[in-house]
Structure 1
Amino acid sequence: MKIISKLMLLVSMLTAYISFGQTKPDQTYDLGAKINEMTLTGTGTLIVATNDGISGISAKNSKPLFNFTEFGAIKTEEMEFVPLSPYVIVAQGGGKGPMAGLSALTGTKRAIIDHVSGRVIFKTDDLGWKQIFTFDVILPQNKLVISGLQKDGNAAEKNTPKVAVYDLSAGKLDYSFFLNEPGKVTAKYFAVTGKPLLLKGSLIVPTSQGLISKNLSGKTLWENKMKNIGWMVADDTEKEIYAFEPVNNGSNTRIHKVGSNGAELWQDDRKVKGTISNFKILDNGLAVVSDQSGNGGVMSKKNESNIAFLDASNGEDLWDKAPKTKGYVQHFYTMEDGILFGIYEGGINKISYDGNTLFKKPLKTGENIQIMAHTPQGLIYITDEDANIVNLETGEQVWNKPLKYKKAAAVASAYDEKNSQYLISADDKIYAVEESTGDISDFGKFDFEEKEQPNHMEIREDGVFLSSSQNVAMFGANGDELFHEYYKSPSNSGFLKVAAGVMAVASTALAMASSARAGANKTGFGSSNDLKNYNDYGKEAKRAADMFAGIGDASFKVMSQRFKASSATENDQFILTKLDGGTGLVKVNKDSGKVEKEIVLQDKKPEYKVDEFGGVLYYKANNSSIYAYDLSK
């Protein structure tokens, strides 16, 4: 009887598990060590940090792409994801090079892993590097430039700073050279002080004793005495190079100009207050934005940006009077007739290249300008408090009056091409702004549960889709609510405590587009100061895809294809909610608001990542296992 009872209990437990337990995953990965952190990359690979090292997981493979355990456990601060690339750099070791402050990573041991192919491309231990000063991945050339001390050679060579250039596609050394002659007695201390500049036929290395230019076999072309340069940028011809020197512990910056032969082209360098956040070489001069930091963080009221326009021939300021920003420059665009900029604290202005104000008066706006973009009618701006379209030449408003609303935690918007109107959600309603007249009307009302504000709006075939973390709604052409579905958060307290990176379901395509807009590399790869078109995400994705395709490397070509493809889940939204079997993720159809798939995660505070673009859910099932679910089914 006892055996029968135990069997009945086991059957009961199995039935309960099948009915209410965890949904069966499509792939299971047992990493054999405690999982500490998960990071979803722009390529769709999940990087998992464990007590043993880091692993790369792609749901297309039944086994991890790689398990890197040579350095042991890797902390968050020991990983650096190179923007717009398939690379993650890991660093470890207690030692710090003399130029440690130049990089987010300071460990003596370094490795570069291609998280698309799973290849470990570079490892300092294998190549005899005993101390690292600088370590820079240069794109789009796809090179690694490293400086430090290497074990190879005699005693003098082992203690002489060295620079090496590696080809990341081939995984081999291109060339290397010493910063000074090994064994030569000198009182001068040589160290790399910033990011080298890789040109078509040369490499310029900033050092504590000046700039050194080498050809692509390591032969010295020229040297000068321009010391302690932090970074450089060249014009399109590569005949003129601008070098930036941090001074006063980085609180100010000096700008130098150098010729292709190493000669200083300006009689005096140009000093600007603060650190340079934007620098654009134009046909008629140099546009510069520098930020002075006050107390209280990046968005502190005490912060202020300075804008200058310099003469390229001598570095002198071309403006008699620089525009007063009275805040932090949040948007900065160079246009044919001048510089357009928006201030975080509120305000938009446009200055001609000869220093004249193009707007009749500075445009007053609300705080935090979320969007500045081109439309056929002019410049649209949307802030936490208001929205309008203004004439890009004069700054005069196109709409009869700005749309104003209470300061919103989130504002969603879209352009309804079929009805020639802009739709903006705020104050628990959707406002419609007629494109040609600027007339404002109430399009529809909503009442989202948990006091949420919509953070996403899109025009669908059957209407206007609006969503937040726990709510989805659809409105018809006349503004009537076709449906509103609410999926309760697992628990309000737990929901708020879990890290945003764990709870938020973010589009990797949008994240990568943001990286492109931010300008991931000051030498120009991925950077842009061009004003974008409103809601034109397709061009952004194509631009990224074209950049990746232009690099002769298989992993970059995979990234290019990923950006050319449509999102695997473009018709769905994913919401963490309470299910009959426990906490889980629901796949909600945007056109009906109905659940098409449920995945029970059996955890009140689940840790997971959703790759919307690839259509995969990665879930930390227990301390050492990751489950992957195909969301496209």
Structure 2
Amino acid sequence: MRTLKTLVFLLASTLILNAQKAETPENSYNLGANINQMTLTVAGTLVVATNDGLVGIKPDTNQLLFNFTDYGRVKPEELNFVPMSPYVMVGQTGIANLSAKKAVIDHVSGKVLFTTESKGWKNVFTCDVIMPQNKLVVSGFQKGGGKAENVTPKVGVYDLATGNLDYEFFLTKPGKVTMKYFAVTGTPMLLKDKLLVPTSQGILAKSKTGETLWENKVKNVNWMTTNETESDIYAFAATTNGKNTRIYKLNASGNEVWTEERKVKGNVSNFEILPQGLAVVSDVTGGSGALGAKAESKITMFSAATGDDLWEKAPKTKGYVQHFYVQDDGILFGVYEGGINKISFDGNTLFKKPLKTGENIMLMAQTPQGLIYITSEDANIVDLKTGEQVWSKPLKYKRAASVASTFDAKNNRYLIAADGKIMAIDANSGSVSDFAKCNFDEKEDPNTMQIRNGGVFLSSDQNMTLINFDGKENYHAYYKSPGRSTFGKIAGGVLAVASTAMTVGMSMKAGANRSAFGSVNDLDSYNETGKQAKRAADMFAGIASASFDYLSTRFKATAATENAQFILTNLDGGAGLVKVNKDSGKIDKEIMLKDKKPEYEVDELGGYLFYKANDKTIYSYNLNK
């Protein structure tokens, strides 16, 4: 085996020599200022923070998409890439928050849609992109009126498709003498016929033309959500120390429905409106014992009608809820510290006993046999009704940073890679057998497994292998990393765009404005390839904007990495990137970066490499050719 491995390595070295070389970049961009940070966006645009400002690069043109220099140097902490959108927000704050500057840039079109200066805002306290309505809601002080208007807090609503103002209004009457301090305290919520604005004096409901429809005394709300018909509104206000969160229920007229607000410990991390009630997950941080509450998640079910706690005894989590899924018969949850349980909507435990698992549940998914779970230490399938194990005993392995798995439909078996081997689990009997060895160099744990026509493909950062369906190795390609110290300084590396930055769950917090997107608490089916990308494409297609049309098309396209993997390794003359075919193990392309510590980003959907050639220059390479 060692001889075969050496032969494969020598063969790979020969292939590097014969592979297509790309010394000349597709395009070169001189930014004219030192580069501080590179960020690859969901659109495939590279956004670069420089000493002069912010630059946008599209790899299929040699012109800069945009070069925003209005605010000078932009620090990394001043950038906010709005999830699941074509927008990047720049925010700079002066002393005591008195000189706030905000700008919103469309990194697909390159248009600057909003700046505080161009729209006449002298101080901005909140600036929120509201999706899927595609609006920007701004609060603060605006110039341009009389003396009273200039010192009266105001709200403006802008259409992000055009950057134009929809409507604006003052939080209080200009010139009115009052000792009350008005400020927007959280994220506004845009409903079909009104905008709800949480303030330090209560929630204001404004029409689409700015008239006040109602107001109440529910103060200092952080965020809100509503049911599909918008008849029930829920408002959340966390204490400044984060120890508790108050929950209010309002009707469509802004009146409080419950006799008093409900309190939960910690910050609310998940909230689901169900026919049976309101499911709330809150995370408690801090020490344990007399000095503070134990750090863990709490799960509560409230009556939507009265706000009463429906469960006599809440389930014990004994850790942080990492997975939370709503099913027909109850709530299924998994805890990071280990453990899976299921509880009915009336508070009864559905599993005969809590299921013990290893730490860090990487995967929970639906299969025909039941719920499959994979942790950093073990894996199994359990009956979703009873919690009983389907496999006679859990598949255990040494603690791993990543565990690769897939389902081999042709042979009706699950394949899981850990402990230097691939284990096969028969879907019918649950019997376990060793399928193949996979001892990866540099002691890497496999992180990708997929079924291909020629067998089972397995890979990590520096290793690739294809094993036929009989368990025999077709090839094993290993490319030495440039060095761990170098690798740690790579500005992003090979980014699996479709599977990380694109999930719908990242576009919302705990349920804020979530009714328009649908629930993110549904249990996915195992091995459902492309579901996240399709979900994203469908969401993009529902928003009327040329930039969102582009995103929808991009996510419907086949990823450039479907048949190849890009690996950073040492080539003759320095570090470089190789494009390796998954089926043959042959190198189709190599790009010499000539840099011992390269900084680069790879767009795996579009198939482009962005490389920082020097302090002021970026090259782009087309990896599809």
- TM-score, structure 2 as length reference: 0.94
Native 8 Å contact 2:86 2:547 kept in 1: yes
Find the residue that maps to 2:547 and give its secondary structure.
Answer: helix
Q: Is 1:70 aligned with 2:62?
A: no
How far 1:250 moved relative to its partner? 2.5
Change (3 A) 1:95 1:175: farther
| Mapping of residues 124-523 of structure 1, within 5 Å | 124-294=116-286, 303-495=295-487, 497-499=488-490, 501-503=491-493, 505-516=494-505, 519=508, 522-523=512-513
Contact 1:307 1:323 in 2 (8 A): yes
Aligned residue for 2:410, secondary structure, equals coil
Over the aligned positions, Cα root-mean-square deviation in angstroms equals 1.8
Q: Name the SS for the 1:559 alignment partner.
A: helix
Letter in 2 for 1:81: F
- Does the CA-based 8 Å contact 1:385-1:408 persist in structure 2? yes
Q: Deviations over 1:593-616 (max 9, x none)?
A: 121111000001100000011000
- The amino acid across from 2:60 in the alignment is K
Alignment partner, residue 580 of structure 2: 588
Q: 1:481: how far off?
A: 1.2
Partners in 2 of 1:286 and 1:359 — Cα distance? 21
Q: Is the 8 A contact 2:243 2:266 kept in 1?
A: yes
1:249, distance to aligned residue in structure 2 (A) = 2.4
Partner of 2:601: 609
SS of match in other structure, 2:279: strand
What does the per-residue CA deviation read over 1:274-321, in whole Å, with 9 as the maximum and x for residues that have no partner?
A: 00000000111000000001369xxxx952000001100011110010
Contact 2:504 2:536 in 1 (8 A): no
- Change over 3 Å in CA distance of 1:584–1:345 after alignment to 2: same
Distance 1:406 1:303 in 2: 27
Kindly provide the CA deviation profile for residues 429-485 of structure 1, in whole angstroms up to 9, marking residues without a partner as x.
000011111110000002211111111111111011111111111111111111111
Letter in structure 2 aligned against 1:514: T
Q: Which residue of 1 aligns with 2:56?
A: 56
Conserved in 1, the CA contact under 8 Å of 2:42 and 2:502?
no
User: Could you tell which deviates more after superposition, 88-97 or 189-198?
Assistant: 88-97
* 1:11 corresponding residue in structure 2: none
Question: What is the CA-CA distance between 1:21 and the residue it aligns to?
Answer: 11
SS for the counterpart of 2:500 is helix
Provide the C-alpha distance between the structure 2 equivalents of 1:212 and 1:257, rounded to a whole number of angstroms: 15
SS of residue paired to 1:398:
coil
In structure 1, the residue matched to 2:29 is 29
Measured in 1, the distance between the counterparts of 2:414 and 2:90 equals 46
Question: Is the counterpart of residue 561 in structure 1 residue 579 in structure 2?
Answer: no
CA distance in 2, matches of 1:191, 1:344: 38
Question: 2:207–2:213: 8 Å Cα contact kept in structure 1?
Answer: yes
Query: Which amino acid in 2 is paired with 1:609?
Result: E
1:409, distance to aligned residue in structure 2 (A): 1.8
State the shift of 1:221 in Å.
0.5
State the SS of the aligned residue for 1:327: coil
Mapped partners of 1:21, 1:259: distance in 2 = 65
Q: Secondary structure at the match of 2:125?
A: strand
CA distance in 1 between partners of 2:529 and 2:141 (Å): 45
Structure 2: gaps (5+ residues): 1-18
The question of whether the paired residues in 2 share the 8 Å contact of 1:516 and 1:544 is answered with no
Aligned partner of 1:4 in structure 2 is: none
Indicate the SS of the match to 1:374: strand
**Structure 1 residue 238, shift from structure 2 partner:** 0.5
The alpha-carbon distance between structure 1 residues 516 and 537, as it changes in their structure 2 partners (threshold 3 A), is: farther
Aligned residues: 601
Cα deviation, 1:558-598, whole Å, max 9, x if unaligned, reads 00001111112310001111111321000011111121111
Could you tell me the percent identity over the aligned residues? 61
Which amino acid in structure 1 is aligned with residue 489 of structure 2? V
1:96–1:108 contact (8 Å) kept in structure 2 = no
Report matched runs for 1:98-113 at 5 Å: 108-113=100-105
User: Secondary structure of 2:551's partner?
Assistant: helix
1:12 aligns to what?
Answer: none
Relative CO higher for 1 or 2, CA cutoff 8 Å, sep ≥ 6? 2
Cα deviation digits, residues 35-84 of structure 1 (max 9, x gap): 11100011100001111111111112221111111111100011000000
Separation in 2 of the partners of 1:63 and 1:518?
30
The CA distance in 2 between the partners of 1:535 and 1:562, in whole Å, is 22
Report if the CA contact (8 A) 1:582-1:600 is conserved. Answer: yes
1: CA distance between counterparts of 2:361 and 2:507?
Answer: 15
- Distance in 1 (alpha carbons) for counterparts of 2:377 and 2:484: 27
1:22 deviates by: 7.8
Distance (Å, rounded) in 2 between the aligned partners of 1:22 and 1:483: 25
Q: Secondary structure at the match of 1:605?
A: coil
1:16 match: none
For the residue of structure 1 that corresponds to 2:140, the secondary structure is strand
CA displacement, residues 82-138 of structure 1 (integer Å, 9 cap, x when unaligned) = 00000000012414548xxxxxxxx61111000000000011101110111111000
The letter for the 2-side match of 1:507 is A
Separation in 2 of the partners of 1:54 and 1:262? 42
- Partner amino acid for 2:492? V
Q: Distance in 2 between matches of 1:493 and 1:340?
A: 41
- Please tell me the residue identity of whatever aligns with 1:26: E
Which ranges in structure 1 are unaligned for 5 or more consecutive residues? 1-18, 99-106
For residues 140-171 of structure 1, the C-alpha deviation after alignment (integer angstroms, 9 at most, x for no partner) is 00001110001121111100000111111121
- CA–CA separation in structure 2 for the residues paired with 1:169 and 1:231: 24
